[in-house]
Amino acid sequence: MPKQVFAELINKEQLKPDIFKFSVKAPEIIEGAKPGNFIEIRITDQVEPFLRRPISIYNMDKDTGVLEFIFQVKGKGTKLLTRKEVGDKIDIIGPLGSGTFKYDKFNNIAIIGGGIGVFPLYELAKCAKNDGKNVNTYLGFRSKDFVVLEKEFEDVSSNLTLTTDDGSYKIKGFAINLLEEDLSKKNIEAIFACGPLPMLKAVQKLALEKDIPCQLSLEEKMACGLGVCLGCAVKTAKSPKDAPEYWHVCKGGPVFNAKDVEI
């Protein structure tokens, strides 16, 4: 069950000009959380911005009770969040989302992410590696200036492939092209993905064509995070055209089987 906690900010780090990593004490949330869950944060006690902000969980340490999340400044809410300082309390609800990454049945997996979509994949890679899985990670960024968490993913991956669209760092091209090349060579059993919509569509298409199990973490605008406001709808893949059916990313996801959703 999700819990509301007022978590103390114990560390604040700026990874890039507009990307921040916060570490908070939140053992109550970590206790029931799994890779793929997210949290909702109340930015301020003031009327505006009124709605909480959904942010994926980046890393959890059950021994210390420290939860970490990374966010990019995109508007007024996240800009205000950057003003929090070490020692401040942050109003958080979590863990949220019933759809989480499930890797137990697979021994050789591929994890692919793009841009800021790589953040929720770290906890997945870490847990899978600790459970003895062979973790092949593929990360894609626009250019060298946007590359984040390279060392962190190296530490939790059996193999890490990093690409940039313009070739300014590591391999030039798109991460999915390298994944496609490796599917047969590395006998990959399942794919787990998070990132921009065009990348997710390409990963979904590849997985369906190759008949490889695939799980997608979707990002949608959320207001409540509990399936009440009905704002984060995604169409089910088997919906009749004349009577479409929808799931809500916050409640049914954010992680879905690639066969089950139309994106």
Contact indicator for 141, 115 with CB cutoff of 8 Å? yes
Nearest Cα to 173, choosing from 182, 161, 185? 161
The pLDDT of residue 233 is 80
257, β-bridge pairs: 215
What pLDDT shows up at residue 231? Answer: 64
Q: What angle do CA 237, 238, 239 make, to 5 degrees?
A: 95
**pLDDT (0 to 100) of residue 225:** 53
200, two tokens: 């997710």
Residue 227 confidence (pLDDT): 58
- Residues paired with residue 224 on neighbouring β-strands, in sequence order: none
Nearest to 183 by CA among 210, 215, 156, 165: 210
pLDDT given for residue 232 in this prediction: 76
Domains of the chain: 3-96 (2.40.30.10), 108-216 (3.40.50.80)
User: Which pLDDT score is estimated for 7?
Assistant: 98
Low-confidence ranges of the chain (pLDDT < 50): none
Q: In the prediction, which pLDDT does 234 show? A: 85
* 217, 101, 115, 249: CA torsion to nearest 10: 20
Q: Which of 24, 27, 35 is nearest to 3 (CA)?
A: 27
DSSP secondary structure string, 58-97? -EEETTTTEEEEEEE--SHHHHHHTT--TT-EEEEEEEE-
